[in-house]
Amino acid sequence: MIFDYRLIAVLLAFCCTGFTPSSLSATESAAEKQSPRPNIILCMTDDQGWGETGFNGHPILKTPHLDDMAASGLRFDRFYAAAPVCSPTRGSFLTGRHPNRFACFSWGHTLRPQEVTVAEAVKSAGYTTGHFGKWHLGSVQANSPVSPGNSGFDEWVSSPNFYENDPWMSHNGVVEQLKGESSRATVDAALDFIKQADKQEKPFLAVIWFGNPHTPHEAVSELKALYPKQDASFQNYFGEITGVDRAMGHLRRQLRDLGIAENTLLWFTSDNGPRPPRFKNEESRSQATGGLAGWKGNLWEGGIRVPSIVEWPAVIKKPETTNVPCGTIDIYPTVLQITGAKVSHQPHLDGVSLLPLMEGQMTARAHPMGFWTYPSKGHPKRSTQILLDLKEKQTPQQINPKGPVPDADASSLATHYSKEDLPGAAAWIDGDYKLLKSVSKKGAPKYALYHLSQDKAEQQDLSKEDPTRLKKMKAGLKGWQESVVDSLNGKDYAD
């Protein structure tokens, strides 16, 4: 049987907005006038700081294509990664939920198979889906329960973690080597998928997660040459970021050449704050964060506020800049509303749809945003070695080696988490105010309160000046953390 997914999506949308069968003829006429469902491309860099673009004021970096996106689309001045390290943020990106809800506490931790990903969700609206680049949410062996293929992606060319030039990747479970500069090779793999989807006239979701500018910083010679006045470490570092920029420029040109740029939503962001070379150099750190406090690994603004732009010419008609707090938790609900995707058993969401913001109808965030660094060690994932080991064991007839399945226990709910103990650093952002909970070496919590629009560097603690707000925000944070613990213990999967 052949289904008209576009009509199904429209009818479902009508049901949710109060349409009745008596108005069906009128709604059919309206549906015929609607433009095709937009294509969705979601891009993310690895360890790029809020200040590491030309449009956010970096005095050295060359990012002309990202700057052009910012000059023509919607630019977020307060966009937040859900966590200050990579895997948890990636989990939030795919699910619309804080990563602690599914025990993705630190780098190298996995998704839970019980989670609903954005790739799984948009299939209900007839989309084909692809993942390209860094995965870092589990194994890229095809039979792993948390591989890209078992997380909703029809096509995937994915690495277990960060990678450099001429990268090894898992292509639908088969280990292959791509050729070329890291970011361009990733975009080219995605474009193969995009062109095929366009040829078949299918709407698509493409998730592109670059491996740069994560260490070890190995830019190609052409990119290093753009920064002759820098030492070798920064030639490589800045070169990698410009490499991402050039890859984004190539992607945008190809979308225009294919004639699909107008109704393609292209979203760019980063997974956490920066870790530039010469980390102790205050000038380079300040440039990387745009003057924000902190960096990768902590919950100060520099650790979680990241660059973000959306370009969607069919909807975003003129350049806009917003100070509304938004984040990676909002990507999933935004895509669901845009595509008309339906999820029958939706776990609790932390994010909200930003479609009203894109359409100029949203001026404030209705609910605060929570952050929580649950103390847990990261799990090392050395991409090249993992993939070469897998390649040795693969045959044309058997891509999944005999033996234990990687991450077979990812769905386990055996560990019980207590609401009595809410360990680790946390933050609660409500409009212009941010509550920051830190933990001393003795384990005692300490709270500070900041007004971010007046004090983006978080220098002036207002907790003693505004005890009423402090008390209210502490209660809000605690209540949210307790709901996260409920999720950790499986409450969201009860059905």
> Rounded to an integer, what distance in angstroms lies between the CA atom of residue 315 and that of residue 312?
6
Q: Contact, 169 vs 160, CB < 8 A?
A: no
Q: Contact, 79 vs 70, CB < 8 A?
A: no
451-472: b or e for each residue (b if 16 or more CB lie within 10 Å)? bbeebbbbeeebbeeeeebbee
Beta carbons within 10 angstroms of residue 4's beta carbon: 10
* The pLDDT of residue 353 is above 60: yes
Which stretch of 118-132, 311-325, 339-353, 431-445 has the lowest confidence by average pLDDT? 431-445
* The pLDDT of residue 19 is above 50: no
Q: Which helix (H) or strand (E) holds 389?
A: helix 383-393
Q: Which helix (H) or strand (E) holds 320?
A: strand 320-322
| pLDDT score at 443 | 77
CA pseudo-torsion sign 68, 237, 282, 455: positive
Task: Give residue for tokens 């956010």.
Answer: 56
Is residue 279 very low, low, confident or very high in pLDDT (cuts 50, 70, 90)?
A: low
> Rounded to an integer, what distance in angstroms lies between the CA atom of residue 186 and that of residue 179?
10
Q: Could you tell me which of 52, 16, 100, 107 has the C-alpha nearest to residue 480? A: 100
Average pLDDT over every residue of 119-141: 97
> Rounded to an integer, what distance in angstroms lies between the CA atom of residue 311 and that of residue 332?
17
Q: Could you tell me which of 171, 195, 182 has the C-alpha nearest to residue 264? A: 195
Residue 180: Cβ-neighbour burial (10 angstroms; 0-12, 13-18, 19+): middle
Tell me, what amino acid is at 59?
A: P
Side-chain half-sphere CA neighbours of 474 within 13 A: 14
Q: Contact, 93 vs 328, CB < 8 A?
A: yes
DSSP-derived secondary structure letter, 460: -
CA pseudo-torsion sign 448, 451, 453, 455: negative
SS3 assignment, position 269: strand
C-alpha distance across the termini of the chain, in Å? 29
425-430 vs 445-451, strand pairing mode:
unpaired
Task: Give residue for tokens 């740029």.
Answer: 261
What would the pLDDT profile of 37-76 be if each residue is shown by its tens digit? 999 999 999 999 999 999 999 999 999 999 999 999 999 9
Angle at 443 between CA 438 and CA 448, to 5 degrees: 25
Is residue 444 very low, low, confident or very high in pLDDT (cuts 50, 70, 90)?
A: confident
Task: Give residue for tokens 């530039």.
Answer: 276
Structure tokens at 316: 């975003």
What is the dihedral angle through the alpha carbons of 432, 488, 331, 82, rounded to the nearest 10 degrees? Answer: 40
| pLDDT score at 363 | 94
Structure tokens at 83: 């966590």
What would the pLDDT profile of 84-117 be if each residue is shown by its tens digit? 999 999 999 999 999 999 999 999 999 999 999 9
> Rounded to an integer, what distance in angstroms lies between the CA atom of residue 374 and that of residue 146?
21
Task: Give residue for tokens 């226990």.
Answer: 409
Q: Could you tell me which of 264, 342, 276, 259 has the C-alpha nearest to residue 61? A: 276
Q: What string of DSSP letters covers 120-156?
A: HHHGGGT-EEEEEEE--SS--STTSTTSSGGGT-SEE
Is residue 278 very low, low, confident or very high in pLDDT (cuts 50, 70, 90)?
A: confident
Structure tokens at 135: 């995965």
Is residue 157 very low, low, confident or very high in pLDDT (cuts 50, 70, 90)?
A: very high
| pLDDT score at 306 | 98
Average pLDDT over every residue of 455-468: 97
